[in-house]
């Protein structure tokens, strides 16, 4: 499959592929496609390499099965569930704030049509509502993030503790490794 690299299949010499240097095994034969005399031979070689990569991808083993949702929070206790519920409610409040802000913004646009002598008091009132909304958004965001981080840390500690217990209960021969001249 021929992939166009620019106008007429050529790219300017200053444009490099977006592959990180650490992933490139060897430097390209020519820094510029304009200097390469055997461009078609290089294209054929690139196609052969692409086919080899496809073959290697087919030989890879399939990914492990996905964890069902019921097992996702298996290490959570009652406090963790409470933290997750409070964090989710705070996240809902945090997300709802944009809709409320747009409501107040619409009211501010509507106030611009009234006479100037009444405008200042109404704009001040609406501005204070927006300030209160901002304080509520800050509090909801802080509660959301702190609850979810705390429950994540608690569940991670339980998982690590269980893992260490499993490792300590293993038979010692489980950890033996043999070199080339081992038994």
Predicted confidence at residue 118, as pLDDT, reads 87
pLDDT score of 84 = 96
Residues ≥6 apart with Cβ < 8 Å to 22: none
Rounded to whole angstroms, the Cα distance separating 93 from 34 reads: 59
Instruction: Walk along the chain (183 residues) in steps of 10 and give the mean pLDDT of each run.
Output: 51 54 55 56 66 63 82 91 96 96 94 88 94 97 96 94 90 74 62
* Residue 40 · residue 47 · CB < 8 Å: no
Tell which residue, 53, 41, 50, 40, has the closest CA to residue 9. Answer: 40
pLDDT of residue 172: 80
Enumerate long-range contacts of 9-14, CB under 8 Å, 24 or more apart.
10/34
Please compute, for residue 44, the number of CA atoms within 13 A of its CA located in the half-sphere on the CB side: 4
Q: What is the pLDDT of residue 58?
A: 62
Burial of 178 (0-12, 13-18, 19+ CB in 10 A): exposed
What are the residue boundaries of the structural domains of the chain, listed by start?
A: 11-59, 69-171
Give me the pLDDT at residue 71, please. 86
Q: What is the pLDDT of residue 134?
A: 96
pLDDT for the residue numbered 15: 52
CA distances from residue 138 to 91, 97, 135 in whole angstroms, order as listed:
11, 10, 5
In this prediction, residue 83 carries a pLDDT of 96
Would you state the pLDDT for residue 89?
Answer: 97
CA angle 86, 87, 89 (to 5 degrees): 65
């Amino acid at each position: 499959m021929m992939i166009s690299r620019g106008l007429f299949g050529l790219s300017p010499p200053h444009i490099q592929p977006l592959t990180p240097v650490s992933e490139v095994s060897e430097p390209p034969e020519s820094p510029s496609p304009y200097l390469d005399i055997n461009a078609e031979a290089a294209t054929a070689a690139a196609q052969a390499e692409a086919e080899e990569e496809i073959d290697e991808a087919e030989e890879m083993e399939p990914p492990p099965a996905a964890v069902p949702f019921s097992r996702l929070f298996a290490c959570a206790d009652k406090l963790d569930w409470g933290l997750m519920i409070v964090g989710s409610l705070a996240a809902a409040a945090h997300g709802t704030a944009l809709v409320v802000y747009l409501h107040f913004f619409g009211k501010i646009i509507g106030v611009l049509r009234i006479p100037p002598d009444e405008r200042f008091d109404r704009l001040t009132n609406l501005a204070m509502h927006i300030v209160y909304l901002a304080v509520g958004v800050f509090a909801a965001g802080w509660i959301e993030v702190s609850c979810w981080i705390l429950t994540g840390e608690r569940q991670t500690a339980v998982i690590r503790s269980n893992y260490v217990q499993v490792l300590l209960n293993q038979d010692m021969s489980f950890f033996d490794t043999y070199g080339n001249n081992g038994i």
